[in-house]
Structure 1
Amino acid sequence: MHSAGSALSAEQRHETAQSTVRSTQTAGPETDSEAVDSVFRNRWLDGARQYVVSADGKLQTADGSLGDVEVGNATIAGTANDGSGQQSQFDLSTIKPALPCGPSPLTAAEIARLVVEAAQKYRVDPAFALAVSTAESRLDRDRNSPKGARGPMQLMPPTADFLGVTDICDPAENIDGGVRLLKSLFETYRNPLIVAAAYNAGETNVQKYGGVPPFPETVRFVAEVINRQIGLPLPRAKDQGTKGTLTQRIDDDAAAGVLANATPRQWVGGVMQF
């Protein structure tokens, strides 16, 4: 699920995402890359590094302290969503919702393979891309969000439109667009915690709070993505029954089947090493 907001206009984000599949063009005296680097250094470089996800799936500071993680003027614990209640990637005010997708034509394992292939094509960590797809849609098992997101990468219709995805329900197209979006976010933020948060809650919220927004849904999403990426067991909710456990096992098995040669992540001094 996502919350509305994007730091860039739809056209700017489209241009950024599309640039991942073409050569870099010559820029003026102050290039876009330099501008991004400046924003990144001033706002996220130090702050973004102080957050880690513990083995039990909780977000905490890098020094190991527990409790609320401060984000701007808010804290993660006990802070409600800003009320937008929308999906992340773009403002939906002028976009008609897409029709619901039918059942996925592919198995979870086939979806996982497509995600890994797209990640390798665009040089995104396959384990991260796979973690995002699993957290978003259970590898295309949950294809339709009540808020309008569709397919294995849960793209919003305007996002799909600007990414050049003509059929949002086609798994291959959906995955290609979603991974290109991840590539664009990594080029901007370079931190998997922030990238996951921006994919889920939108770039406006990431910039507003100077890091992971204090939305419970986003915090859970970031924790799940990072835990899946580095291969940690996910915390089990108190009300999760046998069905939930089985679904998680199917997701994990599908991911493991295509990531047999993935580079393992390690914790060193309580800090995640990528």
Structure 2
Amino acid sequence: MSLKIGPAVTATPHRPANDRKATRAFETRLRTFLEQQSEQARQMQEASLQIHCCQLKLARSLFAEEDADQDVLPAMEFPKAEFPAGAGHWRIFDSSPAPGGPLTESGAPPSNRSHSRTDMEHLIERAAARHGLAPDLIRSVIRTESAFDPRAMSPAGARGLMQLMPATAAELGVTDPFDPEQNIMAGTRYLRQLLDRYNGDLDHALAAYNWGMGNVDRHGLARLPEETRNYLLRIKQA
């Protein structure tokens, strides 16, 4: 007796309609996800290129001298990149010249008025007399804040001889914080306001000038940061 064995036949398993529908839905979601990821990557690359371009232009504005009229970068147009959610925030430097002209080495636009050290001394005397402060105090603040550089600018954005923050300068009516006269007059007036606020206590006033009134009001002098403690010492020793 012989047996004849034919090829095995495997039946295709039956897939319920619900399984097929779920599979198609998953494939659709996966395809959409991959497309979105690709678009986000493209946008991030465009944004990164824009940032590098701005940084190069900023370097040109700061350091180019004889070849300032030559175009370092070719004309380039970039589509605006919409940053995807969760991508974080980019800070792009504005390399366009300030209204008053090109930036100085300190990053500040040059003041339209020049003042010698003698002129500054006269301004200090006038400001001290107007606001009832000792000239030596104003002089010490200027020496500590800017080393008598009227174009000084801090990383935080404080400007000029007495390092006025933009918001403070605006409240004091300053239109050009790099102008020595406006800066000294406004800075002295602000220091007078702080002294009045803290009943003539110089430590509180100077701490508020450096650290901010809000911080001093909330924490007092017991929790001064080391930077502010050193600031008070430099003012008193100057």
Task: Determine the structure 2 residue equivalent to 1:133.
Answer: 142
Change (3 A) 1:208 1:178: same
Superposition map of 1:85-96 within 5 A: none
Residue identity opposite 1:112 in structure 2:
E
Asked if 1:223 corresponds to 2:233, the answer is yes
Among 140, 145, 152, the residue aligned to 2:161:
152
Residue 172 of structure 1 corresponds to which residue in structure 2?
181
TM-score, scaled to structure 1: 0.44
Q: Cα distance, 1:139 vs. partner?
A: 1.5
Change (3 A) 1:101 1:154: farther
Q: Are the counterparts in 2 of residues 212 and 219 from structure 1 also a CA contact under 8 Å?
A: no
Deviation per CA, 1:194-239: give whole Å up to 9, x if none: 11111000011112222264212111111111122xxxxxxxxxxx
**How far apart are the structure 1 equivalents of 2:202 and 2:186?**
18
Sequence identity percentage = 35
Uncovered stretches (5+) of structure 1, i.e. residues with no partner = 1-95, 229-274
Q: Is contact 1:185–1:195 with CA below 8 Å preserved after alignment?
A: yes
Q: Aligned AA for 1:125?
A: A
Describe how 1:29-178 pairs up with structure 2 within 5 A.
100-102=108-110, 105-140=114-149, 143-178=152-187
Going from structure 1 to structure 2, the CA distance change for 1:141 and 1:170 (only over 3 Å counts) comes to closer
Aligned length: 132
RMSD: 2.3
2:168 is the alignment partner of 1:183: no
The AA in structure 2 aligned to 1:101 is P
TM-score (norm 2): 0.51
Larger radius of gyration: 2
- Mapped contact 1:151–1:174 kept (Cα < 8 A): yes
Higher relative contact order, structure no. (Cα contacts within 8 Å, ≥ 6 residues apart): 1
Partner AA of 1:210 in structure 2: G
Q: Distance in 1 between matches of 2:110 and 2:159?
A: 10
Q: Tell me the distance in 2 between the aligned counterparts of 1:101 and 1:226.
A: 31
Shift of 1:108: 3.3
Q: Displacement of 1:155 after TM fit? A: 0.6
Q: Report the CA distance between 1:193 and its aligned residue.
A: 1.3
In structure 2, C-alpha distance between the alignment counterparts of 1:213 and 1:183, rounded to whole Å:
23
Higher strand share: 1
Structure 2 unaligned regions, length at least 5: 1-93, 99-106
- CA shift, 1:124, in A, is 1.4
- Structure 1 distance, partners of 2:202, 2:181, is 23
CA separation of 1:212/1:175 partners in 2, compared to 1, >3 Å: closer, same or farther?
farther
